[in-house]
């Protein structure tokens, strides 16, 4: 059997199994392993010989998994996740929210705006969007509901705020993208700064306009506090500012690498939590367990994707796909539009990491043939994955918020609120596609 045909069958099998709700990690590993065995056993011009194909196929699978897991850059993933969990359990993230909330209480929708800024601050500590949504959802949503904010605004603002973890560095998605495309993770982090801040600004404008049109959804909160009390509340969030400054300033100032910044974050959070006694040993153990579970889930998917990428490369499907796109005279804008639509549709049904790892083997060669910058393309991909986190019917951040709020709040209530923020997301996406300089300004000016 022709190896390209086996590649097409394998790709179709992946989508069929995903449609049947088989976990993506098991889908990728099983399909790619089985198809690699078939490819080695059924060579053109010879009969099928399972024994001949079994050993080289399993050797390829084993070597790919090992080479991926021993990647130095991947070591920062569990460390940034652990730093985020330690920050939550030591109440550093709570202090960010309350410090901003006190200053923005009189702004239209001030608590929702404070929640968005708090999510941005939490995102600058940990690289996980869902961890951000979960942690900030436990803090912000009950607070807004206590002050009679509408359920739609209270829940949707934190759901979309959680997506900032995908763009604002450090970002797990940027790390995985960098490993798979062999791009500099530090440059990807730099590229995500301005798009992340632009997304945050778009969300804040959405809240302000929404509240201006419907003032009843966000009653004003009266905070009878002196200027000294406000300054003290802001100063109490110093650990978060120090940590954010250490990560961003250290990486961008060339003091240490992104991996060293991750290790520094963990050490700082442990030092702060133990010295100021905001972390108990039970909280540390809980953080370690949560980090282990989250990291294992991410790495299982990533290893499966690495094996799948190896099989797809072996089959030659990516080369055929790139040649088809190149030789049929499609314009660059047409190809980009198709890529955007592909990610928007896939984001409705698959988790972000799975979506990215399934598509990169096919799209990266196409983008390279078009002469486009892979750093800029990485920002576009991550922005699209960010949109997928809140897109119905399977917006993961929406279900994360649902899991941490009162039972009487329905999923459709959160989705109705999220739709308003999707307008801002699509506008920001358009700016990033039309003006690559937004993404490339910092990486090109500092490297």
Concatenating the DSSP letter of every residue in 211-262 gives: HHH-GGGS--------HHHHHHHHHTTHHHHHHHHHHHHHHHTTSS-HHHHH
> Tokens representing 137?
């959802």
In the structure, what pLDDT confidence band is assigned to residue 416 with cuts at 50, 70 and 90? Answer: very high
Q: What pLDDT does residue 406 have? A: 66
* Predicted confidence (pLDDT) at residue 286 exceeds the cutoff of 90: yes
In the structure, what pLDDT confidence band is assigned to residue 154 with cuts at 50, 70 and 90? Answer: very high
* Predicted confidence (pLDDT) at residue 275 exceeds the cutoff of 80: yes
Mean pLDDT over 11-31 rounds to: 84
Query: Model pTM?
Result: 0.86
| Angle between helices 129-146 and 110-123 in degrees, nearest 10 | 160
Q: Give the whole-angstrom CA distance, residue 423 versus residue 268.
A: 38
- Whether 445 and 403 have beta carbons less than 8 Å apart is answered as no
Give me the residue spans of the domains in the chain.
1-70, 73-299+378-446
Q: What pLDDT does residue 44 have? A: 62
- Whether 93 and 118 have beta carbons less than 8 Å apart is answered as yes
Q: Give the whole-angstrom CA distance, residue 224 versus residue 330.
A: 62
Q: What pLDDT does residue 11 have? A: 80
**Residue 107 φ/ψ region, left for φ over 0, alpha for ψ in the -120 to 50 degree band, beta for the rest:** beta
Q: Give the whole-angstrom CA distance, residue 13 versus residue 359.
A: 15
Most confident of 13-17, 286-290, 306-310, 393-397: 286-290
Q: What pLDDT does residue 427 have? A: 95
* Predicted confidence (pLDDT) at residue 422 exceeds the cutoff of 80: yes
Query: pLDDT tens across 204-218, in order?
Result: 999 999 999 999 999
């Amino acid at each position: 059997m022709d190896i390209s045909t086996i590649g097409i069958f394998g790709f179709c099998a992946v989508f069929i199994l995903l449609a049947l709700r088989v976990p993506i990690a098991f889908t990728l590993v099983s399909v790619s392993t089985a198809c690699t065995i078939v490819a080695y056993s059924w060579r053109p011009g010879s009969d099928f010989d399972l024994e001949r194909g079994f050993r080289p196929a399993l050797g390829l699978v084993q070597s790919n998994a090992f080479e991926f897991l021993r990647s130095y850059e991947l070591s920062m993933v569990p460390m940034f996740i652990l730093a985020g969990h330690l920050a939550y359990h030591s109440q550093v993230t709570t202090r960010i929210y309350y410090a901003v909330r006190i200053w923005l209480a009189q702004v239209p929708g001030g608590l929702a705006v404070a929640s968005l800024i708090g999510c941005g601050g939490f995102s600058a500590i940990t690289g996980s969007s869902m961890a951000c949504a979960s942690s900030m959802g436990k803090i912000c949503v009950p607070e807004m509901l206590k002050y009679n904010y509408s359920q739609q605004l209270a829940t949707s603002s934190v759901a979309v705020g959680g997506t900032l973890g995908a763009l604002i560095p450090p970002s797990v998605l940027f790390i995985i993208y960098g490993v798979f495309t062999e791009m500099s993770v530090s440059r990807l982090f730099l590229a995500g700064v301005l798009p992340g801040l632009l997304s945050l600004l778009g969300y804040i404008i959405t809240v302000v306009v929404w509240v201006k049109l419907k003032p009843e959804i966000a009653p004003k909160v009266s905070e009878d506090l002196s200027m000294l009390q406000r300054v003290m509340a802001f100063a109490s969030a110093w650990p978060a500012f120090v940590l954010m400054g250490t990560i961003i300033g250290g990486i961008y100032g060339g003091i240490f690498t992104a991996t060293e910044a991750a290790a520094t974050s963990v050490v700082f959070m442990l030092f702060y939590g133990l010295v100021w006694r905001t972390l108990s040993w039970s909280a540390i153990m809980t953080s370690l367990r949560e980090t282990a579970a989250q990291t294992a889930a991410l790495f299982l998917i990533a290893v499966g994707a690495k094996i799948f990428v190896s099989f797809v490369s072996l089959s030659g499907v990516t080369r055929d796909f790139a040649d088809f796109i190149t030789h049929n005279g499609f314009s660059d804008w047409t190809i980009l539009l198709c890529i955007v639509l592909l990610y928007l549709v896939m984001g409705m049904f698959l988790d972000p990491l799975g979506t990215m790892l399934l598509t990169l083997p096919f799209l990266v060669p196409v983008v390279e043939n078009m002469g486009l910058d892979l750093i800029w393309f990485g920002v576009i991909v991550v922005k699209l994955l960010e949109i997928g986190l809140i897109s119905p019917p399977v917006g993961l951040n929406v279900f994360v918020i649902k899991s941490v709020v009162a039972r009487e709040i329905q999923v459709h209530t959160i989705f109705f609120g999220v739709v308003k923020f999707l307008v801002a997301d699509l506008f920001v996406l358009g700016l990033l596609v039309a003006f690559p300089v937004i993404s490339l300004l910092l990486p090109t000016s500092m490297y």
